[in-house]
A and B are shown apart, each in its own frame.
Chain A
Amino acid sequence: MKFGIVVFPGSNCDHDAMYATSINAGCKAEYIWHKETQLPKDIDTIILPGGFAYGDYLRCGAIARFSPVMREVVNFAGKGGYVMGICNGFQVLAEAGLLPGALLQNTSTHFICRDVYLNVSSNATAFTSEIPDGKVLRIPIAHGEGNYFADEDTIRQLEDDGRIPFRYCDADGDVTEAANPNGSINNIAGITNKRGNVLGMMPHPERYSDIRLGANDGLNIFESLKKCLN
């Protein structure tokens, strides 16, 4: 099992994803420079990490999608390869059309960094297989534009297809309005594509993958992938 972590100019959670996947989850991992036009052959999962790719001075992720490496990421996903976009990575996936919808500015208009709780709808995906039934994950968010939006049809389809693995909830797992930190429709914190091999999520699992930092619920996600792909 090997992770490939894409480094865009302005990525700043690339080191964190490397540490979580290699040191905490014990997998192989390597960086992939955004100017690459070929992916390393042995990569099983690509991570688009958090940060501010190209400064995000335009719409978040709007420029990063044109990076040379993104064509390869799209091909990789098309062939069924696993792709995970975290925070800014989710925004890039949405801009690249690998996932539907868009991430708007938080309703508070502020950047928000805080712990949130995630209700996990199903452990039938490769990203969630190792999460125990009913476990509520505590994972931090850190974003200014994480307010998930899509048109009604898309939302209905996501709901019908069971493609919303993570929703913001309270500590008991209840999905409430008060637990929604950014205004996302239906408390959506993460979605997958139809095929289930592309995940985008605003919370940062790589930040809570080491018990030294007080919580390691995020490790569940990397270990799910490890288990599925090994």
Chain B
Amino acid sequence: MSSKLYSEIEVTLETAIECGLSEAEYKRILEILGRTPTYTEIGVYGVMWSEHCSYKNSIKQLKTLPRSGHRLLVEAGEENAGLIDIGGGYAICFKIESHNHPSAIEPFQGAATGVGGILRDIFTMGARPIAALNSLRFGELDSPRTKYLLRGVVEGIGHYGNSFGVPTVGGEVYFQHCYHDNPLINAMAVGIVKVDKTASAAASGPGNPVMIVGSSTGRDGIHGASLLASREFDEKTDDMRPTVQVGDPFGEKLLLEATLELIDADVIAGIQDMGAAGISCSTSEMSARNGLGMEIDLDKVPLRENDMSAYEIMLSESQERMLVVIQKGKEEQAKAICDKWDVPLTTIGRVTGDGLIKVHRQGNYVAELNADSLVLGGGAPQYDPPAAEPAYIKKTRAFDPNYLTTTLTNQDIFWKLLASPTIASKRWVYEQYDSQVRTNTVNIKGDAAVLRIKELCGQGLLGEEFPAKGIAVCTDCNGRYTYLNPYSGAMSAVAEAARNVVCVGAEPVAITNCLNFGNPYDPEIYWQFKEAIRGMGDACRALGTPVTGGNVSFHNESQSHAVYPTPTIGMLGMIDDLDKIMSSEFKNEGDAIIILGNMREELGGSEYLKLVHGVVSGEAPVIDMQEEIALQKIVLAAIRKGIINSAHDCSEGGIATCLAEKSIASGGLGCNVSLPGFLTVGKLFGESQSRVIISISIDKIRLLKKMCDDNSVNYWVIGTVVPKYFFIKDCVKTTVRGLKETYENAIPDLMNEI
């Protein structure tokens, strides 16, 4: 092979700019190399230094987040996903990631490959995926574009997850105009792994063969990371549809089984999935983690089209591929495992000790790059862009919703809220997902999904009797709150996620985050980002839930506007005894209904304001972490002691909506409720944080009151559980059946309209 570098074309500043690099970045590359890069090399720098791969505009902020804790087995950023010790020799691996830009231009494949990508992040660590969630944001549902996107995204998620065999157990769907052009598709996956069977994404052992396992490499997804995901939407975006990858869940299922067997057989010396930036990213990141290099012969890469150039092969984002380093001498064993699953395994190079990525194609030496110079934490740029408080914040903060008047009655407002797509039943969505495969799904209808951990459920498997263990998972973020106040809004997102797992009886242990923002070079956007990170960090420190990793998605904007800052939180909770879990619905006629927390009447950023007055304004709901922690402590203790019969977080649509949801889910029970003091719109529909509505048998009230008094948590006994009827004094009187009809039909009716 030639040792003289070859470039198809003469690389200039213009070439670098076409690859998504800035002039300063190109100059830096010239300095690093001490020469002009080849065409392949500039392509590799383009993707590796893209926002998507390098986190260049976010890493300095991300480092301020709490990233360690006693249950954490790896720190954020070290491996493909976070790893949480759950005892008994097992760990939970979980992560959330965005696939916003691809889904905006090709919703089915965009969403499907989003799911595929996050699943690979989990099983590349040796963990078997046991649950998937997704957090979705669209424009208003009366728009044909939103219907098209919702249909495609839901089908895509179902197509991939159902076939792969992972249950989709939870998530959220919000509808708000700011997401019209740029929907948010955040996919989360959760897996389980034996602690001593985890695999590392660091290559080791110079001389070890480097192989690709899985699909062949095609022209799909080239520049997905550097151009599509790292810039705003404009009139050219539709032309970028070819940059969206195409998913093959069956291929991924086989890849999963083969990968887990390879890891189990101890033949691997490093493995990383190929997602964004494909071979470029996996070779350089795996090498750089151990200060090693790789020599790669692209002629050996199985191709879908033979005439692909080195540039194209290095940048392809074809799905369902992994890069593995196999321990020398164990190649045959590895081959036998892959043959069993009919998964191709091909040697494409070897690990070297010189720290260089050397690439050959058709007799030409096309790249010689220092691996460390390409990656985050190495030579990739890190910026600290200017930030400035957005002009709108002064206006929204000064806005007092209490001055607004409406001719609608409380009853009219109640029904309007219940039928709002953001609040109404998401059955139309979740019934298209297999939520039960792998038979671990205990309940998906509470505030968080509850899954059992079969490996820690006794029943003779481990030959001993002990309480069956489980986990709770959820995603949360109300973008309106973060828009009005990025700091407190992000805090609320963490607090609500924790509250949700607490409401099912789990202890919050760690989060993963997906940070969806606009263009980071706009100081107002960057201010939102910094403030949100600050709020998230403070909330996580207060709750003791470290950040295990996640994903940053900038450039979520169209020509007219950016999306609301949306830092989605994926929360993991631990359940030490599955016999002590809780669900949200009313259980028994005659139970007392109690609000725990506060009676603040905050309308800022509420669904009410948006729906009735068409405004997203005011101050975001107050969040006081000490109040929140005290509340969560009481709720969790009451569940574990078997004192209460239901628990449901009070969120969008306020107390009235929360009561309706508790009734609808009960299958026939309703309530007779009278709220204390003067009845206002704010009291009924305000969205104050740190509140949980519970139901409890009369004889246990005294116990609960004592717990509340001891912990300075406020409570209000507001009524009783009754059969069939739903009655809130001076607001609404109806039947539970009537509630259910409105709640269940809202989204199907809109989707059936043409």
Contact = CB atoms under 8 A, between A and B. Distances in A.
Interface of A: 9-10, 12-13, 15-16, 19-20, 23, 50-52, 54-57, 110-114, 140, 142, 144, 204, 206-207, 209-210, 212-214
Contacts of A20: 439
Interface in B641-669: none
B441 A19 contact: no
A16 B165 CA distance: 11
A20 B454 CA distance: 12
Given A12-B253, A214-B442, 5 more contacts: A16-B439, A23-B460, A52-B250, A114-B431, A213-B439
B250 A213 contact: no
A188 B461 CA distance: 37
B163 A142 contact: no
Contact of B468 (A112, A114, A144, A212): A212
Given A13-B437, A20-B439, A213-B442, A110 B432 contact: yes
Interface residues of B, number: 36
Nearest to A114: B431
Contact of B436 (A9, A23, A55, A207): A207
Nearest to B451: A213
A222 B48 CA distance: 54
B441 A213 contact: yes
A55 B452 contact: no
A55 B250 contact: yes
Interface of B: 155, 158, 162-165, 248-251, 253-254, 341-342, 430-443, 452, 454, 457, 459-461, 468, 578
Nearest to B341: A9
B461 A112 contact: no
Contact of B248 (A55, A112, A140, A206): A55
A114 to B, nearest CB: 5
B341 A142 contact: no
Given A20-B439, A23-B459, A54 B250 contact: yes
A57 B250 CA distance: 9
11 contacts: A9-B254, A9-B342, A16-B438, A20-B439, A23-B459, A52-B250, A55-B249, A111-B432, A213-B439, A213-B441, A214-B443
Given A12-B164, A15-B438, A23-B459, A112 B250 contact: no
Given A55-B250, A212-B468, A111 B162 contact: yes
A67 B434 CA distance: 26
Q: Is the interface of A mostly helix, strand, loop or mixed?
A: mixed
A212 B457 contact: yes
Contacts of B254: 9-10
Nearest to A7: B257
B490 to A, nearest CB: 33
A140 B254 CA distance: 26
Nearest to A142: B434
B439 A206 contact: yes
Given A23-B461, A142-B434, A212 B162 contact: no
Contacts of B452: 212-213
Contacts of A10: 163, 250, 253-254
Contact of A212 (B249, B436, B442): B442
Contacts of B436: 113, 140, 142, 204, 207, 213
A57 B248 CA distance: 10
Contact of B439 (A55, A144, A207): A207
A12 B460 contact: no
A186 B439 CA distance: 29
A110 B157 CA distance: 12
A28 to B, nearest CB: 14
A92 to B, nearest CB: 15
A113 B433 contact: yes
A16 B437 contact: yes
Contacts of A142: 162, 434, 436-437
Contacts of B578: 212
Contacts of A55: 163, 248-251
Contacts of B442: 212-214
A212 to B, nearest CB: 6
Contacts of A15: 438-439
A111 to B, nearest CB: 5
Contacts of A51: 163, 165
Contacts of B454: 19
A171 to B, nearest CB: 10
A23 B435 CA distance: 21
A70 to B, nearest CB: 17
Contacts of A144: 162
Nearest to B250: A55
Contacts of A50: 437
A112 B436 CA distance: 12
A20 B436 CA distance: 14
A70 B434 CA distance: 27
A117 to B, nearest CB: 14
A180 to B, nearest CB: 15
Report the 5 A-B pairs with minimum CB-CB distance, sorted nearest first.
A12-B165, A55-B250, A52-B163, A16-B439, A142-B434
Given A19-B454, A111-B432, A142-B162, A210 B439 contact: yes
